Amino acid sequence: MEMKDMVIISVDDHISEPPDMFKNHLSGEALETAPKLLKDENGKDVWHYQGQTFASVALNAVVGRPFEEYGMEPTSLDQLREGVYDVHERVKDMDVNGVAASLNFGSVFDFAGGRLHRVPDKKLATTHISAYNDWHIDEWCGAYPGRFIPCAILPTWDMAATIAELKRVSDKGCHTISISENPTCQGLPSIHNAYWDPFYKAVNDLDMTICLHIGGGNPAPHASMETPIEAWISTMPMSIAYAASDWLQLEALHTFPDMRIALSEGSIGWVPYFTERADFSNSRHKYWTNSRFQNLKPSEMFKRHFLNCFIDDAFGLQNIQFIGEDNIAYECDYPHSDTLWPEVPEHLWPTINHLTDAQIDKITHGNAMRWFRFDPFQHYRREELTVGALREKAKAAGVDTSPKSSLGERPLAEGDVRPVTSGDIMKMFMRHEDAEQKQDA
């Protein structure tokens, strides 16, 4: 196999939703009360919903910018590549990047609908979650069948409504859902509480996959407000280990041996030590902890139930025998700062070409197809979805990958050369929130 022969499916990308996303899926009062994207007095795009303001519509969506202009914004759609919010332009950006298909997490309600837990009218929020899912499944993913893996969000504050929405989106052909890895952060019972039992059963009965995306619940820890932000960014993927450890202890994994959980944007290099440590801890403590792992090792359970997703992890790919060649999938993270667009194949190939063709196929697309019940080859021939074929298509379409300069707000004053800290970023966002609260008032 050569680089141009790879078929790449990205299992983690993102959307900044367009302002008209609800118009084809709601009417009357439901449409009138839906989230609205408005510009504030500073020219920032902000979503307004039920008296609340959701800022940072394009958090870290810096794809296509020069590195010197990276940051924790942009804050308006006009600062972005059109592919961030326009599905037709997104497909072109996928083509030029050699990416055959993509799973996209939303922004308006966050990756797992967490923002809706803070609004006062949950019944109304349930209506708007369904409308969001309809837009995502029918308009975004439906515009190009075979190029997108649908991923729904759920009204998890209402278990009956959650089960109903699971069944509804499953009937629409969506087999993946995104939820918080730690619902206690949203004021809900923990994943070990009986509250979630109907959810686990429904996910099993409907043969769906659960995505746990970093930042959907557990905050990525940082040492102090004076710590340079680069330290925080470096450890963000590994914060998924907290969720992995918690979910690995889930009783439902013993009840439902086919349950599938994807650890989105968590990378893979940490997995061998994590599973080794889990087995060691279990061997020392299972006698007094009433552990569910008496005969089965935690590492064996982990391989049975968890998919590990990476953006750039040469170390992990050198050690797949300790992770599992059936438990690894690729992610591009378009349009965030970690994305290697438009050079994903050039970065991926040197880290993966030591593997067999069969292993490469698994990691680049086969595992994604199996774990997410998704088959792009129902719509395209394989040879149409290779890196080489997609790039020839993009070349014919004249896709422009030249950098788009759009310098937004900087966290430090001009001339300040000290490292940007976690506290600087927090202050920047607090200024935004204060301004937006005053505007809402």
CA distance 236 to 25: 35
For residues 238 and 196, the answer to whether their CB atoms sit within 8 Å is: no
Phi, psi angles (nearest 5°) of residue 102: -150, 140
Give the C-alpha separation, 340 to 13, whole Å.
Answer: 12
> pLDDT for 170-181, tens place per residue?
999 999 999 999
3-state SS string for 56-115: CCCCCCCCCCCHHHCCCCCCCHHHCCHHHCCHHHHHHHHHHCCEEEEEEECCCCCCCCHH
Per-residue pLDDT at 73 exceeds 80: no
Find, among 8, 31, 69, the residue nearest to 342 by Cα: 8
3-state secondary structure of 152: strand
Q: Is 54 helix (H, G, I), strand (E, B) or coil?
A: strand
**What is the pLDDT at residue 203?**
98
Strands of 260-264's sheet, edge to edge?
A: 176-178, 209-213, 260-264, 306-310, 328-330
Element (H, E) at 52: strand 52-54
Q: Which domains does the chain have, with CATH numbers?
A: 3-273+305-440 (3.20.20.140)
Q: 133-147, 216-230, 391-405, 406-420: which range is least confident on average?
A: 406-420
Least confident of 122-136, 155-169, 360-374, 416-430: 416-430
Q: Kindly indicate the confidence band of residue 217, based on its pLDDT and cuts at 50, 70 and 90.
A: confident
Q: What is the DSSP letter of 421?
A: B
Model pLDDT, residue 56: 66
Mean pLDDT of 136-143: 98
Distance of CA 66 to the CA centre of its chain: 23
Q: Percent of the chain beyond pLDDT 90?
A: 78
Lookup: tokens for 48: 């307004």
Average the pLDDT over 415-436 and give the result.
75
Residues 44-54: tens digit of each pLDDT: 889 999 999 88
- The pLDDT value recorded for residue 436 is 47
Total residue count of the chain as it appears in this document: 441
pLDDT band at 59 (very low <50, low <70, confident <90, very high): low
Provide the edge-to-edge strand list for the sheet that holds 52-54: 36-39, 45-49, 52-54
* Mean pLDDT of the 26-45 span: 92
Q: Are 75 and 56 in contact (CB under 8 A)?
A: yes
Ranking 35-49, 160-174, 177-191 by mean pLDDT, the lowest is 35-49
Between 126-130, 152-156, 410-414, the lowest mean confidence (pLDDT) is in 410-414
Per-residue pLDDT, averaged over 38-65, amounts to: 84
Of 77-86, 310-319, 409-418, minimum mean pLDDT range: 409-418
* 410-424 core/surface letters (b: 16 or more CB in 10 A; e: else): ebeeeeeeeebbbeb
Residue 431 has pLDDT above 80, yes or no: no
Please report which confidence band the pLDDT of residue 219 belongs to, taking 50, 70 and 90 as the band edges: confident
Which of 79 and 351 is assigned the larger pLDDT?
Answer: 351
pLDDT at 343: 98
Above 80 in pLDDT, residue 405?
no
Residue 178 CB partners (closer than 8 Å, separation 6+)? 105, 111, 112, 113, 151, 152, 153, 210, 211, 212, 213, 216, 264
β pairing state of 99-105 and 148-149? parallel
Average confidence score pLDDT of the chain: 93
Mean pLDDT of 135-162: 98
Q: Which has more pLDDT, 73 or 309? A: 309
Residue 407 to residues 16, 63, 158, 404: CA-CA distances in angstroms? 18, 13, 42, 9
Phi, psi for 103 (deg, rounded to 5): -105, 125
Beta strand 45-49 pairing with 36-39 = antiparallel
State the Cα–Cα distance between residues 439 and 48, nearest whole angstrom. 11
**For residues 19-32, average pLDDT:** 97
Q: How do residues 260-292 score in pLDDT, each as one tens digit?
A: 999 999 999 999 999 999 999 999 999 999 999
Q: What is the C-alpha to C-alpha distance for residues 435 and 441, in angstroms, rounded to an integer?
A: 10
Mean pLDDT, to the nearest integer, of 401-411? 78
Report the pLDDT averaged over residues 117-137.
97
Alpha helices in 249-309 (DSSP H): 252-255, 271-289, 298-305
- The answer, yes or no, to whether residue 415 has pLDDT greater than 90, is no
pLDDT of residue 173: 98
Which range is least confidently modeled, 208-212, 230-234, 406-410? 406-410
pLDDT tens-place string over residues 370-400: 999 999 999 999 999 999 999 999 999 999 9
